Chain A
Amino acid sequence: MNTRPFLGWFVSPAGLVAAGLIAAMLAVFQYSVRAYIPGTLEVGGFTWANFEAMLRPLYALAFWNTVLICFETAVFTLLLAYPLAYTLTRTNSSALRSFILIVSVTPLFLGEVVRTYSWMIVLGNNGFLNTLLLKLGLVDRPLRMMFTSGGVIAALVHVTMPIMVIMLAAALSHIDRNYEKAAESLGAGPIRIFMTITLPLSMPGIVAGFSTAFAWTFSAFATPQLIGGGRVATVSTLIYQLGFSSFNFPFAASLSIIGLALSLAVIALLKKAASPLERMAGTT
């Protein structure tokens, strides 16, 4: 029955990568249930101690912090990206389109570290933003923006923006413009058209973009590490600290496992919460 025998060959590279990933995950899982022997990279026998240790407030707080940061980042990214994506798909001016594309997509090519460093320059005590506020006389002394979760979120929003704009623009451009024209002919003004037609029909893109932004941010490391400077604890910075400063591989591994589980759980929850919204768009 298989009329395209070459399809198997097409997916085999992906299969190899997946197999490698699964092997690595199994190794991480294996580490997570081993005892930590201080002062050495060797690990001890089987134990659940690593997972039990995670119930301590320090780590629970880090998990809560991470979820909160990811959630806020996804919300702000969505709010900022939607108008951009909307303009991108609706403007007749090709100059404006190019401008939005360049502004929103080029950050993708810079990489997280470079973008984070530029945010450090903007947010620092002697940075661009504080200098500007001081010169304008809006503040007496520099606002503390570095090493705060606010600063981390600002930078993460920037990092997450391109993917959100692209996903929203894809959803918006798939909406038949005749729906909006039909609504207009039926007497709906621009705001009503947006609220009753465009927004509900773009809901699948909003849900997809939001979950992607959330997952994307959950695994972000360079931004919280550099801008948070160790004072904003997230799951990924904790894993780094434990694994590569304390060389407590077993505990870092168990943190990774729980982090992964948490992120999947939150995304599943988001999907569930959003399903009535998606149904509203009539796509499911």
Chain B
Amino acid sequence: MLMRTDPMTAHTPEATSEKVRPAVQLDGVTKRFGDSMALHEAWLKIRPSEFMTLLGPSGCGKTTLLNLVAGFLEADNGEIFIDGDLVTETPAHMREIGIVFQNYALFPHMSVAKNIAYGLKTRGVDKKEIARRVDEALALVKLSGFADRKPRQLSGGQQQRVALARALVIRPKVLLLDEPFSALDKNLRGSMQVELKQIQRELGVTTIFVTHDQGEALSMSDRIAVMSAGRIRQIAAPDDIYRRPADRFVASFVGDANILNGRLVEKRGDVAVVSVGDISAEVPVAPIAALSIGDAVDVFVRPEHLSVTARGASGSLPGTVTTQVFQGGHVDLYIDASGSARERILLRSPGIAALSSCPVGAEIGLIIGSDDIVAFPPGEAA
């Protein structure tokens, strides 16, 4: 079972300190499909020009949230504001949003130029101005000279650029991106991400990006809203999400995490002290505030925050190397430490030294070399 965080921890920091008018604001938006709760009371404020990512597994409600902002779905409860205007009841075609779909949805019967011009024609922009802005948009996505091609004559990456140009040319109040990279191969994906981020920053367009890929989310976003089971779990900057996950779902969904069996030793102010075997470490108190001293806790440690030392060194956990996986820039060691963890531990050792120093079967000591440790009340491995 997922432990529910106090909703206040997830939302108050922005809610109170926000001075600028949010570009997009969701106030307690709820959406049900029959009996299933697709989105449960979403509260979200997106700043102008911000790149906000909705991250979560499939079925977590991120696409529902996107469709609600786009106007393709109607909220059952709550209000949606775009640029300060209440748009909860506004039909999609009057919301002035740009969308890039997962499959791009370029109109197959229109040329690239006609695709891009579509949103300008609906707005009654005059012909000369349309031609000028289409050229400009094509240049922006580096596709000048492709104006007369049909979408099916373009590669996946080019189609995506056209889709982006079509969405941006109308100067939307918000740009919505629905898993736009999932159809691209891995190499292309990386370069498109860099390019998209560059264009987004250049134009300063407020962007909502939906993905299930934590790597994309961490590398591109100004802030990430991690979602699961129709709820927003945490809204924070990528490094905060990674270093200070608000609950065990976020901790396990974003990045790799080892779960060590710990115990709550002390609470003082914002921090708590937990112990795992001989090790003691400071963690944020919020997630485990309800527990009492001496209670069991699950301590989450990233693989790169563990390092190897001699067996029996003070402040270390005993373990045995069971598998070595050479990854090029680093070595993954799987370590059996049955006393301190229920599952085998993953340790990420930079460089290649560990290949020779930690052979399979080696008995080693584990130390935690970072402050970025969090603890949660015990539960299933989420």
Contact = CB atoms under 8 A, between A and B. Distances in A.
B99 A185 contact: yes
Given A176-B105, A187-B170, A281-B109, A181 B92 contact: yes
Interface in A183-221: 183-189, 192, 196-197, 200-201
Contact of B107 (A184, A185, A187, A197): A197
B123 A280 contact: no
Interface string A114-136: 00000000000000000000000
Contact of B108 (A183, A187, A196, A201): A201
21 contacts: A176-B103, A179-B107, A181-B72, A181-B92, A181-B99, A181-B101, A182-B99, A182-B101, A184-B72, A184-B91, A184-B92, A187-B94, A187-B119, A192-B122, A196-B118, A200-B109, A201-B109, A280-B109, A281-B109, A282-B110, A282-B150
Nearest to B170: A186
Name, among A181, A187, A189, A281, the residue most crowded by chain B CB atoms within 10 Å (CB to CB).
A187
Interface in B79-125: 91-99, 101, 103, 105-110, 118-119, 122-123
B80 to A, nearest CB: 15
B73 to A, nearest CB: 11
Contact of A186 (B72, B109, B150, B166): B166
- Chain A CB within 10 A, most for which of B92, B107, B109: B109
A192 B107 CA distance: 14
B142 interface: no
Nearest to A200: B109
B26 interface: no
A195 B107 CA distance: 13
A182 B102 CA distance: 11
B93 A184 contact: yes
Given A182-B105, A185-B92, A192-B122, 19 more contacts: A176-B103, A178-B105, A179-B105, A179-B107, A181-B99, A181-B105, A182-B99, A183-B107, A184-B72, A184-B92, A185-B93, A186-B170, A187-B122, A188-B118, A189-B93, A196-B118, A281-B108, A282-B110, A283-B108
Contacts of B103: 176, 178
Main SS of the interface on chain A? Answer: helix
Given A181-B99, A181-B105, A282-B152, A186 B122 contact: yes
Contacts of B110: 282
A192 B152 CA distance: 23
A188 B105 contact: no
Contact of A178 (B91, B101, B152): B101
B20 to A, nearest CB: 25
A180 to B, nearest CB: 9
Contact of A185 (B70, B106, B150): B70
A183 B118 contact: yes
Nearest to A189: B93
Contact of B109 (A176, A184, A282): A282
